[in-house]
Structure 1
Amino acid sequence: MVSQIAVLVVNYHSSSSVATMLASVLAAEEDLARVVVSLVDNSVDAAEWVSLEEIVADARARGLQVTLTRAPENLGFAAGNNRAYAAVASASPAAVLLLNPDCEVTSGSLGSALADVLEDEGAAHYAPTRQGGRRLSGVSELSLVSGRKRQLPAGQLGAERPWRVRFPDGHCIALSRELWERAGGLDERFFLYCEEADLVLRTQCRLRALSRLEIDHIGGGTTGGGDAKSDVTYFHGSESVVRLVKTHFGWSGWLMGVLSGRGALAGQAFLSGHRSGSLAVIQGSIAGMRPSRKARAA
């Protein structure tokens, strides 16, 4: 039986990006039998669904195995990826790779990522990435002092610090099936942001670079645009970072620091004239303190 890597993709009004991403996978792969793509559409939009059906039909005609699932509502990133995995779980893929629609494979292949994962099944694997002209490691750090996240440049990982949480960026993260299932997938209490940090904290897994796969990432191409996007980012970013720190560190000094950092961010947004963004930070922080109505994992 051929070992497969299941590529999990969550779409939200990004069908044109999905088409480009799938084209890059087809161009990079020599052995399509090793790759199965599971695509979940969170858009709840008839025109978007029709567009995705056409894109998927074209990819299938070119030999790529693709499963397409229509979500009944916008499930968010974590639940969307869990739904994508559930659609292909019966095939028992050896590995899973979460890939954003606004990514393209520019070097290596998903087959090479599968080989890397099978060499170290206890690690969360990240992909070197080019984004906006910058070369990034594919790893981010979250400060437990301020609650701010930063992407680490390629070749500049340096030593880890106890007040920072390091994790693969969610636009491209690869795991063995054993690690994914042991974690129970992503925690659905996180609608958007911090899902990867939570997974690393829950599993205490090590991080390892994919040796041959490289990705181009547009960034921000899957959450909307303009001021609406900023308010969504402010709200869910604040909700998720507060929930993350409260979940894993409790009522500690770290939580107080993160809440203070959110307050400073709300103040900055207000003074810059973005009052709706300031309100979104406050509302998101409050939401992060409250118990979630969703279960921990799928």
Structure 2
Amino acid sequence: MSAVSAVVVNWNGGTELIECIKALLSQEGVELEVVVVDNGSTDGSADLVEVRFPQVKVVRNGRNLGYAKAANIGVGATRGEHVLLLNPDTRLLPEALPLLISFMESHPDAGALGPKLINPNGSLQPSCRRFPPLGATFLRHTPLELLFPSHPFLKRYLMFDLDRTRPAEVDWVSGACILLRREAFEEVGGFDERYFLYSEDVDLCLRLKKAGWKVYYVPHAKAFHIGGHASERRPVFSLYHAHRSMWLFFRAHHRKSALWWLGPFVLVGILGRFLVVLLTLAVRRLLRRRGRDAMAP
């Protein structure tokens, strides 16, 4: 079985990072190197990794460079033929990594693979989708999504028709846990570092597909993913970058003719969505604060 490198981009991952690495190192039957790229954490998690796991290499950036740039740094610090990228809040289940590597080796056209992701409560976490066509982009990122939640554009984009018990070629898989063929990753230039947070996985998979590589969903390999690591710690920061990345992807991968007439509507929709979610967040914080004040003696 080919050598594989694992890269975990960390920003204040705390004990979740430790559990992620423990699950990684417990994978059997693989030749594995692990690199943690720390984006200026202040919680001591990078120090803890060095103490608990001396075999793990820690690369310290000193400040938060964003996910895409940190991931590129991490891949550059490894040597494996395949590279597994993991979020700190992800836990590989037993045999997940050998199963992914075996699938990659039996599919020489595969540039990227994603396992089945499972929520902490045991439910299925959507981890693969189609690339959003203009219609779905317009519906997904504007208030029209609330009016037409079952529109065929959205159902197709979210892959409601996919049998999630069998491997399948898909458009893109979640970067929370993704196995990459180094040759393919380097061929397309790695992650686009304009994406500070979010959508870099969608962009990468699209460029892999354009270069002739395939992306597969491999559900017999499984991982737990808690999710919300960054959004819980810095919600406004995360919200801003999520919507900024939506717009970057739209501009990068849709025809200029479409940008001319539909772009302004999507931009307004994305901005409107950002403001609505921001307002909702502010109201929730206010209500929680009032609740605490009411309970105070």
Equivalent pair of 2:12/2:44 in contact (CA under 8 Å) = no
- The structure 2 residue matched to 1:39, chosen from 36, 56, 62, is 36
**Aligned counterpart in structure 2 of residue 139 of structure 1, from 122, 128, 132:** 128
Instruction: Render the CA deviation track for 1:210-244: whole Å, top value 9, x for unaligned.
Output: 253200000012x1525xx2212221011111011
Corresponding residue for residue 243 of structure 2: 238
Number of the residue aligned with 2:216: 208
TM-score (norm 1): 0.75
Question: What corresponds to 2:288 in structure 1?
Answer: none
User: Distance between the aligned counterparts of 1:105 and 1:273, measured in 2?
Assistant: 32
Give the conservation status (yes or no) of the 8 Å contact 1:116–1:211.
no
Is 1:109 the counterpart of 2:96? The answer is yes
Task: Give the match for residue 25 of structure 1.
Answer: 24
CA deviations over 1:64-85 (Å, ceiling 9, x no partner): xx22111122111101110111
Q: Is the 8 A contact 1:242 1:255 kept in 2?
A: no
Q: 1:129 aligns with which of 117, 123, 134?
A: 117
Distance of 2:273 and 2:25 partners within structure 1: 42
Give 1:7's aligned residue: 6
CA distance in 2, matches of 1:132, 1:264: 31
Q: TM-score, normalised by structure 2?
A: 0.75
Contact 2:231 2:238 (8 Å CA) reproduced: no
Work out whether 1:187 is the aligned partner of 2:188: no
Equivalent-residue separation in structure 2 for 1:202 and 1:10 (angstroms): 22
On the 8 A contact 2:68/2:191 being kept in 1, the answer is yes
Contact 2:40–2:63 under 8 Å retained in 1: yes
Sequence identity (%): 24
Question: Is 1:69 paired with 2:55?
Answer: no
182, 196, 216: which one aligns with 1:177: 182
Q: Give yes or no for contact 1:103–1:215 (8 Å, CA) kept in 2.
A: yes
Tell me: CA distance 1:274–1:166, structure 2 relative to 1, closer, same or farther (3 Å): farther
User: How far apart, in 1, do the equivalents of 2:231 and 2:51 lie?
Assistant: 22
SS at match of 2:220: coil
Code of the aligned partner of 1:186: F
Which whole-Å CA distance do the structure 1 matches of 2:158 and 2:116 have between them?
A: 9
SS at match of 2:59: strand
Determine helix, strand or coil for the equivalent of 2:93.
strand
Q: Which moved more, 1:113-122 or 1:260-269?
A: 260-269
State the match for 1:296 in structure 2. Answer: none
1:137 Cα shift? 4.6
**How far did residue 198 of structure 1 move?**
0.8
Is the radius of gyration larger for structure 1 or structure 2? Answer: 2
Deviations 1:137-181 (A, max 9, x none): 5214544224549998897437xxxxxx94211101112111111
Q: Does 1:248 align with 2:247?
A: no
Partner residue in 1 for 2:232: 225
Contact conserved, 1:99 with 1:173, CA < 8 A, in 2?
yes
Counterpart of 1:86 in structure 2 is 76
**What's the secondary structure of 1:40's corresponding residue?**
strand
The answer for unaligned runs of 5 or more in structure 1 is 61-65, 159-164, 278-298
| Matched residue SS, 2:33 | strand
* 1:50–1:115 Cα change, 3 Å: same
Asked if structure 2 preserves the Cα contact closer than 8 Å seen for 1:147 and 1:262, the reply is no
Whichever residue aligns with residue 144 of structure 1, its letter is T
User: Following the alignment from structure 1 to structure 2, what is the Cα–Cα distance between the partners of residues 255 and 166?
Assistant: 23
Inter-partner Cα distance in structure 1 for 2:268 and 2:138: 9
Q: For 2:242, what is the secondary structure of its paired residue? A: helix
Letter aligned with residue 125 of structure 1: L
Give the length in aligned residue pairs.
254
Unaligned runs of 5+ in 2: 146-153, 164-169, 286-297
